[in-house]
A and B are shown apart, each in its own frame.
Chain A
Amino acid sequence: MSAINVIWSASMGACLVLALMHLLVWCRDLRSFANLFFPLIALGIIAMGACELKLMRTGSPEGYLETVRLGHLLFGIVVPASLLFVHCLFGTGNRWLLVVAIGLRTAAVVANYSTGPSLHFLSIGSLDQISFLGERVSIVGEAIENPWVRLGQVAAIAQIVYVADASLRLWRRGDAVDRHRAFWIGGSMVSLFLLAMVIAGLISAGVMRAPMLVSFPFFGMVVVISYNMSRDLQRSALLARELEASQRRLALAGSAGRLAFWEWGLKKDRIWISTDGWAVFGISPAADLGFEKFMEHVHEDDRARLEQIVRESIAGTGSYVAEFRVGRPGEPVRWLSASGRVEKDNAGEAVLFRGFSIDVTARKEAEADAAQQRRELAHLARAGTLGALSGTLAHELNQPLAAILSNAQVGRRRIGSDPPDLAEIEAILADIVEDTKRAGGIVHGMRAMFAKDTALDLVPIDLNAVITGSLSLLHGEIVARKGTVDFTPGDPLPPVRGSFVELQQVLINLILNGLDACREVAGAGLGMREAPSLRIRVGPLTGGVAIDVADHGPGIAPENRDRLFEPFFSTKSGDGGLGLGLSISRGIVERFGGTLEALPPEPGSGAVFRIFLPAAADESFACEAHPDQTILKTDRS
């Protein structure tokens, strides 16, 4: 049995198996080009090994030259495949070096066919027979070297430089896995390329009398690369196991927390939803779910808003947070909270939208309940305040009614006179119209304050109008208490967001508190029976509008400052109230994104309360008209 045959065949067989393995991997994943180039390298080397076998067995110089030429062609395939393999696997190679190396190798192949019988030899005079591994094999005897063989050597140097450069870069940049790869693959390639070059050079120069053994270093290279690549396979298996576990954990979390994971491929408009996620959206599982179809399941009132958020996420920063309702007409409505991220490809184009959605219906319902209760409490407080003011409000209402009655009676008498004084009757009617409007305004204001359901949506509001409205509701009370309130509506203010009635409630509360505080001073018998006087100031403050309500009362005792806004805390004696006013007021203001606080005391002055409300974001909103101005359009003209 020939040892040469056994060694070469075994090596070639091993190479073939490795080539096929990687070819199969590539067939599964067409984008992994490294797995395509590796089989090319291996197959090329197998063919080169076959050429070497033939060289050893050949008898004539012509046959020898032909086989060398074929070997150079095969080399011209193996080298570019190796370089491209490194390029794909490392991703750090210099493109120009790659082009130069491949170009030189291609030029060598061209020279192989154009400058003589082969790149190595211009001619071979005779072949010698030597003993190699116990067999007689042919080697080159006398030959004339082709000067173009230097081209092949330059090409070999270029490819070594390229691989060395790519490996060094990977070594510098990479983590442990990359370094391992740079060292083993890059290092083996460089050294084995060098070895092959040296062997080929020595043999063609006639220094070394041995058969062509170029494929052998390359067999080594294939083994090293293959071993290294198999580490990838190992890692893939490990990752696959981890991935599976992680998916199970996610699925568990998903089903436990009514959580849906989803991915939306933007190119093909396909939405993938985790197994338990379909139920969260209330959609029956379908493979071909697109965005349009998905939107049909979103509550119709939320569709436009959600679509806008999604478009903005894709066009903008790529992060996405939304709360929306799902449920088609007839289905129970549920709230979902979603967040996600848009992933972009290298060109910056959005390709994938990934995220998760949670069913937050229970939370939303609890929030709605709490809000409802807060509103009911505020309403009760409002009704209570109005109840306490009923006497003075009746007085306020009586004033226009008294005027109307007097005017109407005079009018009736005038019509009876002969001739009727039409000018006077006209003036009388005009007065009646004005007073009716006024009475209507008061009733409207009271009814708004009594109304249980204030608007849920916050609207832009002019605080000047709120203060004026509050003072007009309180006019009778202030007069009855012999009080004065110093307030002049100032320049137009930026609108704030809130509910007119509830802000009015807060203000009425503060004004009544202030009047009460002044009464405390008067009641304390300090000698001066001073009339209660308040000062209200309103003006823009960084980012919003502030209203200060200042009284001349005893101020707030330091030990009470912290407890002031606690529910059921009251310093008023007797029928002073439940102590809910400030706590409810603060609740209202905070619901509108503002603050209500007692300013630090200043010597010689009473308490100062400050309402701060942030300016409405969109200043183009026209301010909501004061309710008093919107009723009774019965104008004389």
Chain B
Amino acid sequence: MEAQVYIIDDDASVRRGLARLVREGGHAVESFATAEDFLATLPAAFTRPTCALVDLQMPGLGGLELQERLKSRPCPCSIVFVSGNGSIPATVRAMRGGAVTFLTKPIHDEDLLGAVAEGLEAHRRLLIDSLQVGEIHCRIASLTDRERETMARVITGMLNKQIAGQLDLAERTVKFHRAKVMEKMGVVSVADLVRICDQAGFAPAK
């Protein structure tokens, strides 16, 4: 998968210089003068590892606001902040908001390329993770209601007898559903089942 780097900076020559450098690192680059332009051209979902180099101070939508907007999207791309004079509060906000790092201009090429690489890697992992979660969701979707009810109780560590009691079923039936769940979810142990359910955010029964 080819990586994509976006540069959002209101200063044209900074944009050009950074773009050259990033291209030198072997990544596809696209530059925007404002955060609004960037958001407008962004596809609905990121399909390849993406890292955005964002200037903290821009007319209109600033870097931190852009970060907020991106977070509301699925699998938001990594953000590397660059700034001429970042205040400590702004830096703290940026990092807590999940930025890869915060670089101060002028930026050394290795620092920049390192940060970009880090950001791309982080996003790649995120994408892969999200792909896996998608798969798990598919499997969950293939379960029947009974099977889902059973699974929600299995992952809490309940015994078949207890499940049968709660769902008002025969213990044999529960056993049957449980084997189906293990098969459909593609796991061999309860421990694996607990892990992927957790990964997919499947809530255990209360």
The residues of A with any CB-CB pair to B shorter than 8 Å are 391-392, 394-407, 409-410, 413-414, 428, 431, 434-435, 438, 476, 478-480, 482, 484
Contacts and interface: CB of A to CB of B under 8 A. Distances in A.
Contacts of A406: 14, 17-18, 20-21, 106-107, 109, 112
Contact of B13 (A391, A396, A435): A435
Contacts of B84: 394-399, 402, 476
A404 B62 CA distance: 24
A550 to B, nearest CB: 20
B85 A484 contact: no
A400 B109 CA distance: 15
A402 B62 contact: no
B108 interface: yes
A434 B13 contact: yes
A406 B84 CA distance: 14
B105 A402 contact: yes
Contacts of A409: 21, 108-109
21 contacts: A391-B85, A395-B57, A399-B105, A401-B105, A402-B82, A403-B11, A403-B16, A403-B18, A404-B106, A405-B109, A407-B16, A407-B17, A409-B108, A410-B17, A410-B20, A428-B20, A431-B17, A476-B84, A478-B59, A479-B57, A484-B59
Contacts of B60: 482
Contacts of B16: 403, 407, 431
Nearest to A399: B11
Nearest to B19: A406
Contacts of B57: 395, 476, 479-480
A413 B25 CA distance: 11
Most chain B CB within a 10 A radius of its CB, from A392, A476, A480: A480
B58 interface: yes
B10 interface: yes
Contacts of B59: 478-479, 482, 484
Interface of B: 10-11, 13-14, 16-18, 20-21, 24, 57-60, 62, 82-85, 105-109, 112
A431 B14 CA distance: 10
Contact of A413 (B24, B85, B112): B24
Contact of A402 (B10, B17, B20, B58): B17
A397 B13 CA distance: 12
B183 to A, nearest CB: 55
B105 to A, nearest CB: 4
A407 B20 CA distance: 7
Given A391-B85, A397-B84, A398-B84, 6 more contacts: A399-B84, A402-B17, A406-B109, A407-B17, A476-B84, A482-B62
The 9 closest A-B pairs by CB, nearest first: A406-B17, A395-B84, A398-B84, A402-B105, A403-B17, A405-B106, A403-B13, A409-B109, A402-B106
Contacts of A392: 85
Contact of B21 (A395, A400, A410, A482): A410
A29 to B, nearest CB: 90
Please indicate which of the listed interface residues A409, A435, A479, A482 has the most CB atoms of chain B within 10 Å of its own CB: A409
Contact of B58 (A397, A410, A479): A479
